[in-house]
Structures are given as C-alpha cells and as structure tokens.
Amino acid sequence: MGMLIAVATNTDGRSIWNGHFGISPIYSIFDQDGNLVKQVENPYSKDKHHDNPDLIVNLLRDVDIFIAKNMGKKSRERLTKVLGVKSMLVNAQNIFEAIDYYLEAKKNIDVFERFTDKYEEWFDRYAAVYESELNMLKAITPKFNRALEIGVGSGRFAVPLGIKEGIEPSDKMAKIAQERGIKVYPGFAENLPFQDEEFDFILIAVTICFVKDPIKTLKEAYRVLKKDGKILVAIVDKDSPIGKEYLSKKEKSEFYKNVNFFSTLEIHELLRETGFEVVSTHQTLFGNSIKEINEPQGFKEGFGEGGFVGVLGRKK
C-alpha cells in the first residue's frame, strides 16, 4: 500500500487526541495522498502510564509516520533512532487539518525525492558557487564537540564541515548522506528526536526556507543545544541581487516553487524571537547572477551585497 500515516484520534473518530500518541484511543490511518484508509482502536489506550512505542509500532506495522499533538521526548527519540519511524507534532483541531498540514510540508520533501540527481548535479555545475559558500561556512563555523545539521540533505555541507549527524525527511537524500558517512535520523526539523541540550553546534544551511514552520524549527534547535551553544543559519538573502534573481524564477523552479525566501533581517528577528543572540553575519556570492560566478569568491562581514548569508547565533 506504500507509506501510511497514523494520526492520533479522539473517541469521536475526528478530533485530534490531546494526550500522548501512545495512549490515543484511535489511530486514523491515511495514505500519502491524504485519503483516510481505516481507523484502528488502541488496546493500550486505558493505561495512562503506557509509554512503549514498540507496542504501537507493532500495532501499526505498516505505518511510517506518526502525527500527534503530544508525544514524549523519549518516545520520539526511540521511534526515530531505533524503530525508524518519523513523527510530526501539529496544533490541528481535527485529523483532516493534521493531514493537510503534513501534505503541505511534504511538497518540499517530494521535490528532493523526485529530483535527487538534479540536486547533486547543481554542485558540479556551479562548483565555484558551492566552493564560495563552503569556504565562508568553514571560516565562521565555531569549534564543536557534537554537531547536528538540520536538513542535512545529501551531506554536501556536513561532510566538509566535519558534522557527523543530521536530520533529514527525504529518504533518497538521507541515503546519499549516509553513504558519505553521516549518521542520519529520519524526521522533521520542527520535531527533533533528541533530548534537551545534546549538541553544542547546529547548522541550518538553506533548509530554513523549506521547512513548514521556521519558528518551531528554531525553538527545537534551541531546545537541543547546550547553554552557550551556537547555531549557524545560512540563507539565500531575498534582498540581495542574487536573491532577487532566485525570486524572479521561483514559480518556474521545481526546487523553489513552494519555499519561503527570507531576508537577513528576518533571520535576525527569528533568531531573537526564539531566544538566540545574534553573534555575527557574513556574506558571499557577489554580483547579479550565480551564472556569472566562475571562480570562488571571498566573503566579508555584514549583509546586503552577497546572495549567500550566514548568521551565527548563540543560545543565551
């Protein structure tokens, strides 16, 4: 039947269950197109202390993604790290709102599933652009003991930066990253399968433009970072000349049609809103088009000229 999605459901068969996923009275099972396939009663729902994701995975053995309002951190961690099941937390009122939220988020994931080869080819076609971006990120990445890339993709940034772990919702991209030596956890940026304060550095390279909820993404990053931990958010600045080039082609692009481009000032505000202190901002990719960049460029502090911007933040 392909990949199935289970949504935690109340006894009325329609509204979202407000408690933890593991004791949901009913699980509504949807296919990848958002069609309701069946509803399954949970025999463990009356045990208020039940928190064994293994039992639920066995009950829903054909399900690949769990969607709920609440889920214990330990359950999320075991689901992803041990059982290989993705989970997503939503604020929907009913199961159909929840599945619509997932389907909207899935649009950007499907692009990378369909055009994996095209994504990889871009780095060879625009080798000087990639090298310019990478050189800047290498220079401004702080020293770390344990780091995570949110939206690790195929590992194009994580590997040369020495980042060994990543979260990635696209199975095809994750497979390439794994082949490159990255430990990849299946899942979503808004719902990280880790305990509090596990990492001292997090990289989000362009991914912030693709996520469904940037605020939730940064709050989760804040949660799993240690005190004084650093976060590096890299974007294509929509206010730069190259950013405007991307925007002009947005509707015709397979990759960027559904993304939300940000300005550097908007990233500054998002970081502050989620508890981070902005430490520094650097930029590269100068000019009007990436097609004009045939040699690696340097970088400098600030923003407004360069199309690729890296904002370094610190957890207070």
Whichever domain contains 196, its CATH number is: 3.40.50.150
Asked if residue 175 and residue 290 are part of one domain, the reply reads yes
CA 6 vs. chain centroid, Å, equals: 20
User: What's the domain range around 63?
Assistant: 4-104
Contacts of 307 (CB under 8 A, 6+ apart): 236, 237, 240, 241, 242, 243, 245, 246, 283, 284, 285, 286, 287, 290
Answer whether 102's CB lies under 8 Å from 86's CB: no
* Position 109 in a domain: no
* Position 246 in a domain: yes
Q: What is the pLDDT of residue 49?
A: 54
HSE-up of residue 264 (Cα within 13 Å, Cβ side): 23
- Domain final residue, candidates 69, 104, 139: 104
Strand ranges inside 76-175, DSSP E: 86-89, 147-150, 165-168
Asked if residue 162 and residue 66 are part of one domain, the reply reads no
Domain count, the chain: 2
Instruction: Give me the tens of pLDDT residue by residue for the chain, a chain 316 residues long.
Output: 458 999 999 999 999 999 989 999 999 999 999 999 999 999 998 876 566 899 999 999 999 999 999 998 888 899 999 998 999 999 999 999 999 999 999 998 999 999 999 999 999 999 999 999 999 999 999 999 999 999 999 999 999 999 999 999 999 999 999 999 999 999 999 999 999 999 999 999 999 999 999 999 999 999 999 999 999 999 999 999 999 998 888 877 887 888 899 999 999 999 999 999 999 999 999 999 999 999 999 999 999 999 999 999 999 8
- Domain final residue, candidates 104, 131, 150: 104
Judge if pTM exceeds 0.95. no
